[in-house]
Amino acid sequence: MSRILLFNKPYGVICQFSRDGMHPTLADYIAVPEVYPAGRLDTDSEGLLLLTDDGKLQHRITDPKHKLPKTYWVQVEGVPDETALQQLRGGVALKDGMTLPAEVRAMEEPAALWPRNPPVRFRQSIPTSWIALTIREGKNRQVRRMTAAVGFPTLRLIRYRIGDWTLDGLSPGLWRQEEA
């Protein structure tokens, strides 16, 4: 039976078990042998990271041809209008090519949101807002590059869902095991 761990990765943690001497790693939070991350999450991003002991499952989760949807809660600088949201829905031209169309909607700040350490920088004269963005690919820093390309830079990025797995009930730094 395959094991899958759902981990709420805090800001500043790198998605590897080996230490780099500068950042906390998965080893600081997860003392389970023989599990490996199924994908990555940038050091300055937070949220759901899946780990498994099953190589085939790991491949299925990460392989773009399976198009497993990933939903992010994104705090952006400014308030995107319908034109910007429509651009995200249609795909955005990045330096490494067009993104696939995304699902996107404006949302309120998540109710169960935890404080980030360090806090996000705020400017009194520029409002911030939240969007829920679902993609089915994983280009390097894709969500950040997409929101910047339509004029609304990402301030905070939290992966909420991968396929049917969510962060629900998981505080930052905690994990739970589920059947794969």
For the whole model, what pTM was predicted?
A: 0.94
pLDDT at 139 (0 to 100): 82
Strand partners, 104: 133
Supply the mean pLDDT for the chain.
92
The distance in angstroms from the start CA to the end CA of the chain is 8
pLDDT at 7 (0 to 100): 98
pLDDT at 100 (0 to 100): 92
The pairing of strands 36-37 and 175-179 is unpaired
pLDDT at 71 (0 to 100): 97
Q: Would the pLDDT of 69 be above 80?
A: yes
Mean pLDDT of 62-80: 90
Top CATH class, 3-64+165-179: alpha beta
Closest CA to 51 of 11, 10, 17: 17
pLDDT at 68 (0 to 100): 87
Phi and psi for 69 in degrees, rounded to 5?
-70, 140
Mean pLDDT of 22-49: 94
**Residue 42 is a catalytic residue:** yes
Contact 48, 6 (CB under 8 A): yes
Where are the chain's structural domains? 3-64+165-179, 69-162
* CATH number for the domain formed by residue range(s) 69-162: 3.30.70.1560
Quickly list DSSP for 93-154: EETTEEPPP-EEEEEPPPTTPPPPSSPPP-BTTB-EEEEEEEES---TTHHHHHHHHTT--E
Specify the 3-state DSSP secondary structure of 167.
coil
Q: Would the pLDDT of 65 be above 80?
A: no
Mean pLDDT of 48-72: 89
Q: Would the pLDDT of 14 be above 80?
A: yes
Q: Which of 42, 54, 63, 96 is catalytic?
A: 42
User: What letter would DSSP give residue 11?
Assistant: T
For 109-149, the pLDDT digits (tens) are 998 899 988 888 777 788 999 999 999 987 889 999 999 99
Mean pLDDT of 66-83: 94
pLDDT at 117 (0 to 100): 84
Fold match between domain 3-64+165-179 and domain 69-162: yes
From its phi and psi, is residue 95 left (phi > 0), alpha (psi between -120 and 50) or beta? alpha
With tokens 């490494």, the residue in question is 96
Q: Would the pLDDT of 41 be above 90?
A: yes
